[in-house]
């Protein structure tokens, strides 16, 4: 049995527990939160044998842990978990600074050598549509990639579709992360770019191949109270300074151009993830708002008459399935923590580009 545990028992943790709890060979060993009551209720709901408040206690009881806390705790908790010899799945984004990403990547590399499994939870890899698109593009179905466009639209700053942004689970997402000395990490650190931009950057470059430079624009706006229309740049002592609408233009190593957009202001789209990839011999499009198991392609001769074919696919294993399977088989599956760190390198380049008023900026190396 794999003794499994979760740290951080808030909104996202339920998805981890529900899905992982159904996998054969998993023992729901323990969960942990700084909020003891929340953790105890979570343990009861999901059948964890123990509920603890100290991470060390969790680590003692588990072989594998999922880190589902707010972003700023991901790096220290991942480093501690790896140092304790555990298999670690970390929530996205992997870290809040690039310095931390390099440190975590280096620790993950050593952990892999020691037989530990690491995962970053890029959820949209759970879609059969993306996995099939990845296979098709790698097999050359669309020829050479010339253009890709991806969008991650959310609505929660403009619409109360997920409750009000004044709730704690949204407030921490509205603050730019801080360095240890209290200064903000950078204008494009945190915010929608890190929160869901990391997903769309993974979604796009996981299909098109990497980019070695990019340009980024990031905007911050006052939050608007959806009931009164009042505008806030601070709220209950919190500075609401994080970016909430971004666009990134990536220079793909293969020569093509890719565009990624993310926003929290898209009324009508609580959570839309969509992309199109266009090559010399055809195109593939995905819209997860419609379906996670459908894609459409326009390939070969059909492209001369703009003929699209919709493809229905069987579900694919989720990150949760693949994390546990990787531990059981000793074969590390996609996507590991090094991939999470690579996406942090894109985010670092975005931040530097914004600081340089949108200048083309090289994607920094992880130095591994």
Ligand X SMILES: NC(=O)c1ccc[n+]([C@@H]2O[C@H](COP(=O)([O-])OP(=O)(O)OC[C@H]3O[C@@H](n4cnc5c(N)ncnc54)[C@H](O)[C@@H]3O)[C@@H](O)[C@H]2O)c1
Residues 6+ apart with CB under 8 A from 256: 144, 145, 146, 147, 148, 208
> In the bound complex, what is the minimum distance in angstroms from residue 307's beta carbon to ligand X?
34
Q: Give 92 or 215: the residue with its C-beta nearer to ligand X.
A: 92
Between CA 299 and CA 310 the distance in angstroms is: 11
- What is the smallest separation between the CB atom of 65 and ligand X, expressed in angstroms? 11
Contact 204, 275 (CB under 8 A): yes
Distance between CA atoms of 88 and 302, rounded to whole angstroms?
45
Burial string for 214-233 (b: 16+ CB within 10 Å, else e) reads bbbbbbbeebeeeeeeeeee
Quote the CA–CA distance of 202 and 224 in Å, as a whole number: 30
- Work out how close the CB of 175 gets to ligand X at its nearest, in angstroms, rounded to a whole number: 13
Residue 340, SS3?
A: helix
DSSP for residue 5: E
- Toward ligand X, which CB reaches closer, 36 or 310? 36
Q: Which is nearer to ligand X, 141 or 275 (CB)?
A: 275
d(CA 87, CA 119): 8
Q: Are 223 and 246 in contact (CB under 8 A)?
A: no
Residues that bind ligand X (CB under 6 A): 7-13, 32-35, 38, 68-71, 73, 91-92, 121, 123, 169, 195
What's the closest the beta carbon of residue 360 comes to ligand X, in angstroms?
28
Q: How far is the CB of 89 from ligand X (least distance, A)?
A: 10
* Beta strands in 209-270, from DSSP E residues, in sequence order: 211-219, 223-224, 231-232, 234-235, 238-239, 245-252, 257-263
Those residues with Cβ within 8 angstroms of residue 6's Cβ, 6 or more apart along the chain or in another chain: 13, 16, 17, 31, 32, 42, 48, 65, 66, 68
Supply the angle between the helices 13-21 and 319-329 in degrees, to the nearest 10.
Answer: 50
For ligand X, the closer of residues 68 and 216 by Cβ is 68
52 or 363: CB nearest ligand X: 52
Shortest gap between Cβ of 156 and ligand X (angstroms)? 11
Do you know the residue count of the chain?
A: 368
Residue 235 phi/psi, 5-degree rounding, is -155, 125
Nearest-approach distance from CB 253 to ligand X, in angstroms = 26
Which residue, 194 or 295, is less far from ligand X as judged by CB?
Answer: 194
Least distance from ligand X to the Cβ atom of residue 167, Å: 9
Cβ closest to ligand X, residue 297 vs residue 322:
322
80 or 261: whose CB is closer to ligand X? 80
Nearer Cβ to ligand X, position 32 or 65?
32
The nearest distance, CB 69 to ligand X, in angstroms, is 4
Q: Which residues are bridge partners to 244 per DSSP? A: none
């Amino acid at each position: 049995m794999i003794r499994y545990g979760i740290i951080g028992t808030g909104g996202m943790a339920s998805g981890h527990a529900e899905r992982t709890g159904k996998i054969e060979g998993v023992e729901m060993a323990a969960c942990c939160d700084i909020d003891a009551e929340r953790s105890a209720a979570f343990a009861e709901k999901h059948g964890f044998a123990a509920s603890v408040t100290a991470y060390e206690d969790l680590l003692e009881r588990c072989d594998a842990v999922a880190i589902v806390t707010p972003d700023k705790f991901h790096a220290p908790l991942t480093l501690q978990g790896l140092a304790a010899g555990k298999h670690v799945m970390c929530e996205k984004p992997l870290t809040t600074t690039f310095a931390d990403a390099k440190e975590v990547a280096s620790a993950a590399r050593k952990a892999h050598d020691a037989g530990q499994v690491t995962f970053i939870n890029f959820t949209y890899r759970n879609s059969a549509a993306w996995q099939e698109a990845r296979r098709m593009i790698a097999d050359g179905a669309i020829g050479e990639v010339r253009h890709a466009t991806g969008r991650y639209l959310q609505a929660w700053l403009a619409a109360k579709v997920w409750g009000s942004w004044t709730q704690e689970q949204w407030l921490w997402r509205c603050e730019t992360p801080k360095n240890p000395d209290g200064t903000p990490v950078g204008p494009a650190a945190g915010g929608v770019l890190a929160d869901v931009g990391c997903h769309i950057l993974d979604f796009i470059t996981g299909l098109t191949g990497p980019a070695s430079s990019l340009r980024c624009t990031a905007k911050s706006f006052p939050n608007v109270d959806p009931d009164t229309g009042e505008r806030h740049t601070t709220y209950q002592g919190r500075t609401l300074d994080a970016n909430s609408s971004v666009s990134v233009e990536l220079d793909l190593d293969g020569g093509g151009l890719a565009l990624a957009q993310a926003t929290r202001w898209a009324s009508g789209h609580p959570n839309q993830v969509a992309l199109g990839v266009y090559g010399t011999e055809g195109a593939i499009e995905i819209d997860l708002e419609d379906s996670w198991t459908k894609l459409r392609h326009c390939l070969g001769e059909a492209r001369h008459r703009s003929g699209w074919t919709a493809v229905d696919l069987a579900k694919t294993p989720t990150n949760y399935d693949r994390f546990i399977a990787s531990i059981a088989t000793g074969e590390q599956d996609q996507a590991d923590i090094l991939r999470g760190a690579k996406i942090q390198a894109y985010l670092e380049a975005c931040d530097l580009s914004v600081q340089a008023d949108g200048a083309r900026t090289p994607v920094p190396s992880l130095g591994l």
